[in-house]
Chain A
Amino acid sequence: MNHKIAQFSYRYGALIFIGLVLLFFSIYNQHFFTYNNISDILRSISIVTFVAIGITISLTVDGFDLSAGSTVSLTTVVVAAMMVWHQMPLILVLIVPLIIGALVGLLNSFLIVKIRIPDLLATLAVMYIVSGIHRTYTKGYSIYNNMQFQDGTKAPGVMLDSFLWIGQGKLLGVPFPVILMLVAVIGMHLFFKYTRGGRQMIMTGSNEEAARLSGLRVNRVRTLAYVASGVFAAVGGILFAARVGSGQIDAGSSMQMDALAAVFVGYSVFGAGRPNVIGTFFGAVLMGVLVNGMTMLHVQYYTTDIIKGAVLVLALAVTFVHRKRQKV
Chain B
Amino acid sequence: MNTPLHVSTGSLVMNGIYKSFANVPALTDVEFTVNSGEIHALLGANGAGKSTLMKILSGAYTSDQGHIVINGEQVKIDSPAAAKQAGIQCVYQEVDTSLIPQLSVAENILLSHLTSSQGSPILHWKSIYQQAEAILQKLGFAISARQQVSELSLAEKQLVLIARIMAEQAKFVIFDEPTAPLSMEEAERLFTIMEGLKAQGIGVIFISHRLPEIFRVCDKITVMRDGKKVSTVATAETNANEVVHSMLGRAFAEKYPKTFVTIGDPLLTVSDLAAGRYVQGVDLEVRRGEVVAVVGLVGAGKTELSKLLFGADQPERGTIQLSGRNLHSKTPYHALTSGIVLVPEERRKEGILVKESVLHNLSLPILKKITRMGIVSKTAEKQHGDQLIKSLGIKTSSDQQLTGYLSGGNQQKVAIGKWMQTDAELFILDEPTKGVDIGAKRDIFKVIGELAGQGKGILYLTCEFEEAIGLADRILVMCDGKIMKSFNYGEASQEDLLYYASAGREELV
Contacts and interface: CB of A to CB of B under 8 A. Distances in A.
Interface stretch (A22-30, A137-145, A201-209): A201-209
Contact of A214 (B337, B349, B365, B405): B365
A5 interface: no
Interface string A196-220: 1101101100110111111111010
Interface in B307-331: 310, 312, 331
A194 interface: yes
Interface string B365-392: 1011001001110100000000000000
A212 B365 CA distance: 10
Contacts of A203: 353, 356, 360, 364
A328 interface: yes
B96 to A, nearest CB: 15
Nearest to B354: A328
A200 B371 CA distance: 12
A195 interface: yes
B376 A195 contact: yes
A210 B333 contact: no
Contacts of A196: 367-368, 371, 374-376
Contact of A207 (B312, B349, B375): B349
Contacts of A207: 349, 353-355
A328 B350 contact: no
Interface in B382-407: 402, 404-405
B404 A328 contact: yes
B453 interface: no
B220 interface: no
Of the listed residues B332, B353, B364, B378, the one surrounded by the most CB atoms of chain A closer than 10 A to its CB is B353
Contacts of B402: 328
B336 interface: yes
B344 interface: yes
Contacts of B404: 328
A213 B364 contact: no
B426 interface: no
A209 B349 CA distance: 7
A196 B370 CA distance: 9
Interface in A149-186: none
A213 B367 contact: no
Contact of A199 (B337, B376, B422): B376
Contacts of B351: 210, 213
Given A328-B402, A328-B404, A217 B333 contact: yes
Nearest to B352: A210
A209 B365 contact: no
A200 B335 CA distance: 18
A202 B404 CA distance: 16
A134 B335 CA distance: 44
Given A203-B356, A203-B364, A214 B374 contact: no
Contacts of B310: 213
Contact of B312 (A194, A200, A213, A328): A213
Contacts of A210: 349-353
B375 A211 contact: no
B356 A206 contact: yes
Nearest to B310: A213
B50 interface: no
Interface in A279-328: 328
Nearest to A3: B22
A195 B298 CA distance: 42
Contact of A194 (B333, B335, B364, B375): B375
B329 to A, nearest CB: 11
Contacts of B332: 212-215
Contacts of B350: 209-210, 213
Given A206-B353, A207-B349, A207-B354, A216 B364 contact: yes
B342 interface: yes
B19 interface: no
B171 interface: no
Nearest to A274: B355
B364 A211 contact: yes
A195 B342 contact: no
A298 to B, nearest CB: 45
A212 B364 CA distance: 10
B482 interface: no
Nearest to A204: B353
Contacts of A328: 354-355, 402, 404-405
A216 B375 contact: no
Contacts of B352: 210
A207 to B, nearest CB: 5
B376 A194 contact: yes
B367 A200 contact: yes
A203 B341 CA distance: 18
Nearest to A212: B332
Nearest to A328: B404
A215 B369 CA distance: 13
Of the listed residues B332, B342, B360, the one surrounded by the most CB atoms of chain A closer than 10 A to its CB is B332
Contacts of A202: 356
B355 A212 contact: no
A195 B312 contact: no
Nearest to B342: A213
Contacts of A197: 374
B413 interface: no
B198 interface: no
Contacts of A216: 333, 364
Nearest to A327: B404
A212 B355 CA distance: 16
Nearest to B351: A210
A202 B367 CA distance: 13
B355 to A, nearest CB: 5
B418 interface: yes
A199 B374 contact: no
B38 to A, nearest CB: 32
B336 A206 contact: no
B230 to A, nearest CB: 29
Contact of B360 (A199, A212, A217): A199
A197 B351 CA distance: 21
A211 B365 CA distance: 9
Given A195-B374, A199-B367, A199-B376, A212 B312 contact: yes
B396 to A, nearest CB: 14
Given A196-B376, A199-B376, A203-B364, A215 B353 contact: no
A215 B336 CA distance: 6
Interface of B: 310, 312, 331-333, 335-337, 341-342, 344, 349-356, 360, 364-365, 367-368, 371, 374-376, 378, 402, 404-405, 418, 422
14 contacts: A196-B374, A197-B374, A199-B360, A199-B367, A199-B376, A209-B349, A211-B364, A212-B312, A213-B310, A215-B333, A215-B335, A216-B333, A328-B355, A328-B404
The 6 closest A-B CB pairs, nearest first, are A328-B404, A215-B336, A196-B371, A214-B364, A207-B353, A206-B353
Interface of A: 194-197, 199-200, 202-203, 206-207, 209-217, 219, 328
Given A215-B336, A215-B365, 13 more contacts: A195-B371, A196-B367, A197-B374, A206-B353, A207-B349, A210-B349, A210-B351, A210-B352, A212-B332, A215-B335, A215-B364, A328-B355, A328-B402
